């Protein structure tokens, strides 16, 4: 039955409908989303760990005429990097900093598998060299078995010399693997168990090598000795250097276009480097634009283990940086002024959300869930059960952000994380809100979040970039 024109018009006027980016935008705008996503893929390939992400941005900052606030800082574009693992980047606005800043915080760590501090041994029964591991963040352990893996990280020698390691990404590099059990023998060991218990942390050992030390093949631990000898030749390290090293196991290989129309990207660590990249690009695009308010991009570490540590969002780092911005701008920076600055500030807690997965639609309520390709998601609250541990953004601030997005023609949608009582989660928002600022969760949806290969939409990547630019300009 065809509806009357009047009904159609009334529906258009009154009913909320999230808009599909590809349907809603011109060919030109769609092309911009594709072009923007090309550089994003390169970024993902170069930034598979927290340290690599910081290195990537440090290079961009130096090339982009930002100055280190602790060194030769002058002018409006400044940054600080702390312990090679987190960073804050700012453009000082025309208004005093004390009137409040517009800040976007994302995290640059991703779920992964770390090497234990004493990782290497020779397995007695198989005579294989193995590396013991300790997973980091919320992973499904079975996803990491029997898939090619790379080792990224650093050895730091006792004299302070840092040795970068990256094995498994170049096409001539070897890769590594944690071999899974064959189905034929998995009946008791795995199939009778719950999926979360079928792979234990102790099963996640990496096969590292298999040839004995050539000069003395019969020696005890000759395979382990050979592994150490190869490492010593290549990096000048001894076994003791493992004890202080930070070596991270990640899926080997590059981010790829996904889908026959190439509209999506499949790649590791998009939670939350998708927000790190889009927020930094938004800020870089506004240098020299004379912003009203000071704009800050904050790239935090350790979100996946609760925002802990001196490089995580619970640390004093960002507060200290804002105090130094006040000082840099020749304003008061006593504790009362700093407190007021924070209370006057507005923050987007930029993290990904779970988009509806066609394989598992039942965990979401579709009216309140994020849809891939429909733009950035505004998440008023996260948390679990009765909104436990959530920030729950104020309606006034939420509405203001929606107004800005609409004015700047950003595709956006509302997005809760799954059905109530289905599970839940949270991120940085609540820690930022403790300082008194307005905060809302705001980021794109992903499919297969926290898996080895997360799926994003080019529409959402570009919409997120547009949304963050709009916030810096008009927030």
Site string for Zn ion, 409-428 (x = CB under 5 A): --------------------
- In the bound state, the residue with its beta carbon closest to Zn ion is 272
CB of 20 to Zn ion, least distance (A): 24
- Cβ-based nearer residue to Zn ion, 93 or 426: 426
CB of 265 to Zn ion, least distance (A): 17
Site string for Zn ion, 232-271 (x = CB under 5 A): ---------------------------------------x
CB of 442 to Zn ion, least distance (A): 12
What does each C-alpha distance from 412 to 74, 156, 252 come to in angstroms? 37, 44, 33
Distance CA 443, CA 391 (A): 15
- Cβ-based nearer residue to Zn ion, 163 or 384: 384
CB of 398 to Zn ion, least distance (A): 20
How far out from the chain centre does Cα 8 lie?
Answer: 42
Distance CA 89, CA 77 (A): 8
Distance CA 370, CA 293 (A): 30
CB of 381 to Zn ion, least distance (A): 16
CB of 464 to Zn ion, least distance (A): 13
Q: Which stretch binds Zn ion (CB under 5 A): 95-103, 151-159, 272-280, 314-322?
A: 272-280
Site string for Zn ion, 318-357 (x = CB under 5 A): ---------------------------------x------
- Cβ-based nearer residue to Zn ion, 155 or 298: 298
208 and 190 Cβ atoms separated by less than 8 Å: no
- Cβ-based nearer residue to Zn ion, 82 or 106: 106
CB of 416 to Zn ion, least distance (A): 16
Enumerate the β-bridge partners of residue 79. 68, 89
- Cβ-based nearer residue to Zn ion, 373 or 426: 426
CB of 179 to Zn ion, least distance (A): 29
- Is there binding between residue 281 and Zn ion (CB under 5 A)? no
Distance CA 255, CA 263 (A): 13
CB of 267 to Zn ion, least distance (A): 15
- At 142, list the tokens: 């079975």
- At 256, list the tokens: 């790829």
- Cβ-based nearer residue to Zn ion, 301 or 351: 351
CB of 445 to Zn ion, least distance (A): 12
Buried b / exposed e along 390-409 (16+ C-beta atoms within 10 A): bbbbeeebbebbeebbeeee
Residues 6+ apart with CB under 8 A from 142: 180, 195, 198, 199
Quick count: other Cβ atoms within 10 Å of Cβ 353? 27
- Is there binding between residue 122 and Zn ion (CB under 5 A)? no
Q: Is 474 helix (H, G, I), strand (E, B) or coil?
A: helix
384 and 423 Cβ atoms separated by less than 8 Å: yes
Backbone angles phi, psi at 199, to 5 degrees: -115, 120
CB of 46 to Zn ion, least distance (A): 19
Instruction: Looking at residues 74 to 93 of the shown chain, list those that interact with Zn ion (rule: CB under 5 A).
Output: none
Nearest to 246 by CA among 148, 112, 141: 112
How far out from the chain centre does Cα 261 lie?
Answer: 25
- Cβ-based nearer residue to Zn ion, 259 or 306: 306
What does each C-alpha distance from 88 to 293, 309, 452 come to in angstroms? 16, 16, 28
CB of 317 to Zn ion, least distance (A): 18
- Is there binding between residue 272 and Zn ion (CB under 5 A)? yes
Distance CA 259, CA 355 (A): 17
39-44 long-range CB contacts below 8 Å, 24 or more apart? 40/265, 40/274, 40/277, 40/278, 40/461, 41/254, 41/255, 41/256, 41/257, 41/265, 41/267, 43/273, 43/277, 44/254, 44/255, 44/265, 44/267, 44/268, 44/269, 44/270, 44/273, 44/277
Size of the site for Zn ion (CB under 5 A): 3
Enumerate the β-bridge partners of residue 425. 383
- Give the interface with Zn ion as residue ranges (CB under 5 A): 271-272, 351
């Amino acid at each position: 039955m065809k509806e009357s024109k009047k009904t159609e018009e009334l529906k258009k006027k009154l009913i909320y409908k999230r808009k599909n980016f590809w349907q809603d935008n011109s060919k030109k705008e769609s092309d911009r989303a594709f072009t923007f996503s090309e550089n994003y893929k390169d970024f993902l390939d170069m930034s598979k760990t927290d340290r690599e992400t910081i290195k990537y941005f440090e290079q961009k900052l130096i090339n982009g005429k930002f100055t280190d606030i602790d060194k030769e800082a002058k002018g409006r574009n400044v940054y600080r990097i702390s312990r090679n693992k987190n960073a804050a980047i700012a453009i000082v606005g025309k208004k005093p900093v004390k009137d409040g800043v517009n800040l976007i915080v994302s995290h640059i760590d991703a779920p992964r598998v770390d090497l234990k501090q004493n990782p290497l041994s020779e397995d007695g029964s198989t005579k294989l060299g193995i590396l013991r591991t300790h997973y980091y963040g919320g992973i499904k352990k079975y996803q990491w078995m029997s898939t090619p893996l790379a080792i990224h990280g650093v050895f730091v020698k006792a004299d302070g010399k840092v040795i970068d390691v990256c094995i498994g990404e170049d096409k001539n590099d070897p890769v590594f693997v944690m071999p899974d059990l064959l189905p034929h023998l998995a009946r008791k060991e795995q199939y009778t168990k719950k999926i979360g218990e079928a792979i234990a942390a102790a099963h996640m050992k990496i096969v590292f090598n298999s040839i004995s030390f050539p000069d003395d093949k019969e020696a005890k631990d000759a395979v382990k000795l050979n592994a150490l000898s190869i490492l010593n030749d290549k990096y000048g390290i001894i076994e003791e250097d493992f004890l202080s090293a930070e070596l991270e196991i990640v899926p080997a290989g590059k981010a790829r276009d996904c889908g026959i129309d190439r509209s999506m990207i499949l790649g590791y660590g998009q939670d939350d480097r998708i927000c790190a990249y889009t927020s930094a690009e938004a800020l870089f695009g506004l240098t020299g634009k004379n912003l009203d308010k000071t704009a800050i991009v904050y790239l935090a570490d350790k979100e996946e283990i609760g925002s802990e540590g001196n490089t995580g969002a619970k640390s004093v780092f960002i507060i200290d940086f804002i105090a130094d911005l006040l000082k840099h701008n020749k304003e008061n920076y006593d504790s009362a002024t700093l407190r007021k600055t924070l209370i006057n500030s507005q923050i987007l807690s930029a993290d990904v959300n779970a988009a509806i997965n066609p394989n598992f639609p039942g965990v979401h309520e579709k009216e309140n869930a994020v849809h891939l390709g429909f733009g950035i998601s505004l998440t008023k609250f996260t948390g679990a059960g009765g909104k436990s541990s959530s920030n729950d953004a104020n309606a006034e601030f939420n509405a203001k952000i929606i107004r800005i997005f609409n004015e700047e023609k950003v595709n956006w949608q509302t997005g809760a994380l799954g059905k109530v009582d289905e599970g839940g989660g949270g991120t940085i928002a609540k820690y930022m809100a403790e300082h008194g600022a307005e905060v809302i969760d705001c980021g794109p949806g992903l499919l297969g979040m926290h898996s080895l290969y997360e799926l994003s939409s080019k529409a959402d990547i570009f919409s997120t970039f547009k949304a963050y630019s709009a916030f810096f300009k008009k927030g």
